[in-house]
């Protein structure tokens, strides 16, 4: 069973910065990376861009990224931009 190596809460106001910080932990992560989206009400194009890049880096390093607490509106955006398959989702 994989362990959650890193658990980061994503703040809507500073989401890009938070994701950059998360990206820095990917090198040292030994297990899954969990990003807590429960406070994200809405997602912006710039965030999506960073998320896409982030997914690419995580793929490259073999780290599984789990998004927690994604609301259904944001989840639908992930589906529409075809990013949903790049992450795992937990409630």
Partner 1 sequence: MKTSEAARERVQIPIAAEGLSEERIAFLERLVSQARTAAAVFTQFTQEDVDRIVKPMVLAGLEQAQYLARLAVEETKLGVMEDKVLKNMVATEFAYDYVKDKRTVGIIREFPERNLVEMAEPIGVIFSLTPVTNPTSTVLFKCIMAIKTRNAVIFSPHPSAWHCCSEAVRIMYEAALKHGAPEGVFSCLESHTLQDNAYLMRHKDVGLIDATGGPGAVKAAYSSGKPALGVGAGNTPVYLEKTADVSTAVVDIIVSKTFDNGTICASEQTVVIDDEIYDLVLKKFADLGAHICNAKETDLLGRTVIDPKTGFMQAMAMGQKATDIARFAGLSVKPDTKLLIAPIQGVGREYPLSAETLFPVLAVYRAQSVDEALKVCVDVNHAGGLGHTAVIFSRNDEIIRKFGEVMNAGRIIVNSPGSVGALGGVYNDLVPTFSFGCGTGGGNSTTDNTNIYHYLNIKRVARRTQAHMWYRVPNQIYFNMNAVENVRDLPSRCTIIITNPSLEKFGHVDIVRRYISPQTHVHVSVIPDAEPEIKVVMQGVEALNFYKADQIIALGGGSVIDAAKIMKLKYESPEADLEELAAPFLDLRKRVVEYPTEKINRVRLVAIPTTSGTGSEVTPFAVLTDKERRRKVTLADYSLTPDVAIVDPQFVLSMPKGLTADTGIDCLTHALEAAVSSYASPYTDCNAMQAIRMVFKYLPIAYEHPRDEEARCMMHNAACIAAMAFSNASVGVNHALAHAFGARFGVAHGRANALMLPHVIAYNAAVPTKFVPSPYQKGHVAHNKYATIADLLALGGQTVEEKVKNLITAVEQLLDQLEIPRSIAELGISKEEFERAIPELISVAFDDPSGRSNPRMPLMTELADLFRSAYQGRGLAKGAKTLQQRTA
Q: Cβ 89 to partner 1, closest distance in Å?
A: 4
Query: Could you tell me the two tokens for 78?
Result: 């992930």
79 binds partner 1 (CB under 8 A): yes
Give 20 or 46: the residue with its C-beta nearer to partner 1.
46
Tell me how far apart the alpha carbons of residues 24 and 26 are, in angstroms, rounded to a whole number: 5
Among 5, 8, 16, 48, binds partner 1 (CB under 8 A): 48
- Tokens 């030994």 — which residue? 30
8 binds partner 1 (CB under 8 A): no
């Amino acid at each position: 069973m994989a362990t959650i190596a890193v658990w980061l809460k994503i703040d809507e106001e500073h989401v890009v910065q938070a994701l950059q910080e998360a990206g820095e932990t990917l090198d040292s992560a030994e297990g899954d990376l969990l990003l807590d989206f429960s406070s994200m009400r809405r997602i912006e194009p710039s965030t999506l861009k960073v998320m896409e890049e982030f997914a690419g880096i995580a793929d490259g390093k073999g780290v599984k990224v789990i998004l927690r607490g994604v609301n259904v509106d944001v989840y639908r955006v992930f589906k529409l931009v075809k990013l949903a398959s790049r992450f795992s989702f937990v409630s």
